[in-house]
Amino acid sequence: QGWHADMSYSHDIALANILHAQEVPQRDGKPLGDTQFLNMHAAYEDLPADLKTRLAGRTATHDFAKFWDMMRARPGNTRPPLTDEQRAKKPPGQQPTFRTHPITGRYVLYCNPGYAMRIDGMEEGESADLLDFLFRHQSQEKFLHAHHWTRGDVLMWDNIGTTHNAVADYREDEPRYMRRVQ
């Protein structure tokens, strides 16, 4: 799917997600369709001090259409473009680039490649360069955890302190079915 934090484009963001594995694809005895997570507490803490100062108090525009269009551009995808009505229901929104986590009280990097479009108040080129850096920084393996699913697993995660990605390493004839609560 691509790295994202659910609903970061919304005024009311998601705190936690729960998935319950109903069907997990397997090939050669190995589960497929991992859910990967990146730790945004650690990603923030590992940023250079000058960048933390430079981006302190800044917001970034997040847009649902960015993720939708990225999915549409993938080979074989049949998603239609968003209608004007769909677009109006999920308009772009601004989020702090560094957000105070409501439970831990620590800063997290809250700027994900799935929805973040630009850092507000910056020239386009500067914003694009900084987003590129932030996205590469947060995707380092040292921040990564992958959950290898087993049928019946229930997994709950912190949607503010992480970004996540579903690995699409299974075929259409290898069903992966999860029930989700947010």
- Phi, psi for 57 (deg, rounded to 5): 80, -5
> CA distances (Å), 49 to each of 42, 98, 107, 134, 141, in order?
14, 13, 13, 13, 21
What does pTM read for this prediction? 0.93
Cα–Cα distance between 135 and 116 in angstroms, integer? 10
The per-residue pLDDT for 70 is 87
- Alpha-carbon distance of 1 to 20, in angstroms, equals 18
**Count of alpha carbons within 13 angstroms of residue 97, beta-carbon side:** 24
Distance in angstroms between the alpha carbons of the first and the last residue of the chain: 18
Closest CA relative to residue 20, chosen from 1, 40, 35: 35
User: Rounded to an integer, what distance in angstroms lies between the CA atom of residue 37 and that of residue 51?
Assistant: 23
Q: How far is residue 167's CA from residue 164's CA, in Å, rounded to a whole number?
A: 10
Query: How do residues 24-81 score in pLDDT, each as one tens digit?
Result: 999 999 999 999 999 999 999 999 999 999 999 999 999 999 989 988 888 888 899 9
CA dist 102 and 180 (Å) reads 22
pLDDT tier for residue 157 given thresholds of 50, 70 and 90: very high
